[in-house]
Amino acid sequence: MKNVSIWISAMRLRTLPLSVSGIILASFLAEYNGFFNWKICVLAILTTLSFQILSNLANDYGDGIKGTDSNERIGPERAIQSGKISPENMFNGIKLCVLISIILATMLVFSSFRARNFFLALFFFVLGTGSIIAAMKYTIGANAYGYRGYGDIFVFVFFGLVSVIGCYVLFSKQLDHVVILPAITIGLLSTAVLNLNNMRDVESDKKSNKMTMAIKLGEKSMKHYHYALIVVAMIASLLFGIFYYTSIYNLIYMIMYVPLIVHLIKVKRNKDLKLLDPELKKVALSTFFLAILMGVGHLL
């Protein structure tokens, strides 16, 4: 039982709500346009969760064997860092997670397209393969993109564009303009969560030569970058509400601007980046509930 709890901890469950935010929002948009399908929705959520868990295990493994996760790290204790899971066992867990991800992604694509839309199905198989590779290559390998400052781009693409637009296409088999602004919103807020994580770990990352975007920008610019990510995300969501306005209830998601603005104030006043750790959960959950409320509001 103790071993199970260690693996559950390594999966970092607190990151999972953020990972499915785009799927949930895309599902609401698909329901509004008459394309929603419960089977596709459930499989999309399970597939996304498997990708996120794979990414978390791979990050634990990659940072662990590179020595990035030292005792100076501020966030939750990592499994390899603490010695609770050996690198060999973690790598075996990663291989099992890859297999599960492949099975779920295949089931999702088959359920959505079956024998129809061959080229769309092929595209999503390639996209699924790319998602698995991206989940692993963030920290694993000599050319891990998370160590070269490209993590922000990948998060925006996969958590925003792929998650929202890709999931909507799985439902509808077509691309509609209604998903563009929501995809940008979720992508930017998800990138803000990563940037916040990198801001918190900037000192330990410098010592381990992990060149994140936060390190490249420097302390003053990394905060300005953070403000821009959240403010532009709020503007994108506001434009979505204006362009597709049918009722005042459409704008219910603006409630979530309050915790985001409070967060920006805290970041601005912050003098010690290590103290930003509690803000990670707040931004992640704000993104999750913003996605739900944008979807619900669109239906009302």
| Interval 161-202: pLDDT, tens | 999 999 999 999 999 999 999 999 999 999 999 999 999 999
pLDDT in tens, 242-273: 999 999 999 999 999 999 999 999 999 999 99
Q: How many domains does the chain have?
A: 1
pTM score above 0.85 = yes
Q: Any idea what the Cα angle at residue 131 is, between residues 127 and 133, rounded to 5°?
A: 115
| Residue/partner pairs of 35-41 with CB below 8 Å, 24 or more apart | 35/168, 35/171, 35/172, 36/171, 37/171, 39/111, 40/108, 40/111, 40/112, 40/170, 40/171, 41/171
126 lies in some domain:
yes
pLDDT in tens, 22-45: 999 999 999 999 999 999 999 999
4 lies in some domain:
no
231 lies in some domain:
yes
188 lies in some domain:
yes
7 lies in some domain:
no
223 lies in some domain:
yes
pLDDT at residue 161, rounded to an integer: 97
- Where in the sequence is the domain holding 58, given as residue range(s)? 18-299
13 lies in some domain:
no
Q: Any idea what the Cα angle at residue 186 is, between residues 147 and 238, rounded to 5°?
A: 135
2 lies in some domain:
no
